[in-house]
Amino acid sequence: MKDFFEVTDPEAMKCLAIPERVKILELFEDSEPRTAKQIATELGENAARLHYHVKELVRVGLLEQVDTRIKGSIVEKYYQPIAKVIQVRLQLMIEENSQEISDIMFTPLRTTEQDLMRTLQRYATSNEDMRKEYQDTFGYNLAEFYLSKDERNEFLKEIQEVIHKYKSFPKAENRLKFKFYDVLFPLTQPETIHLEEEEQTNQNV
């Protein structure tokens, strides 16, 4: 499995707009190969329906078969994502498939929201011991920056390095499983908006 893979193929990008396929990729955070049946069991999905999504992920190169094991008359195929971190080159998506961009961007956000709601519901109905386990575990950040192109690239590189560092930590009894989601995108600068409004007002006087 590679450390990093950048998605540039439009067909692969479209796969990331389907929640079931995003959940499949997220399941491999421990980097352990799984069969389609094991994936279906862990996600609580219909095996035949999920197997179709697995085949599509393999077809577009986001999932790959890494092993085959024979148990009696049964042939088991094991799969893994192409990389630990999969990133979409959004510029290409905007230029060639702009109508797909919303689904590509917001599908991971929606699945993250669902996971967060389940966690909060568990916390709300949990006993005192579980609440102690959840102490000092939640993190939330929202910020706006003024960045040059070089500063933006440096910022993303640093974020990726941090992600690589912490994704290398193995599953252990004293570690909770966390989910992290981030998105960086340019805004129309407020100054530009104000100037346009002032010019329009002056023209109307």
CATH number of 2-191: 1.10.10.10
174: Cα separation from own chain's centroid: 24
Neighbours of 15 (CB within 10 A): 25
Neighbours of 198 (CB within 10 A): 10
Q: Which residues fall within 8 angstroms of residue 187, CB to CB, at 6 or more apart?
A: 144
100 neighbors 93 (Cβ within 8 angstroms): yes
Domain spans of the chain, in order of start: 2-191
Tens-binned pLDDT, residue by residue, of the chain (205 aa) = 788 888 878 788 878 878 888 889 888 877 789 999 999 998 888 888 899 999 999 999 999 999 999 888 888 999 999 988 887 766 655 555 555 666 666 777 777 888 888 888 888 888 877 778 777 888 888 888 888 989 988 998 898 889 888 888 888 888 888 888 888 888 866 554 454 555 555 554 4
Tell me the C-alpha distance between 165 and 145, whole Å. 24
Residues in the chain: 205
Beta-strand ranges (E) seen in the chain are: 2-7, 63-71, 74-81, 83-88
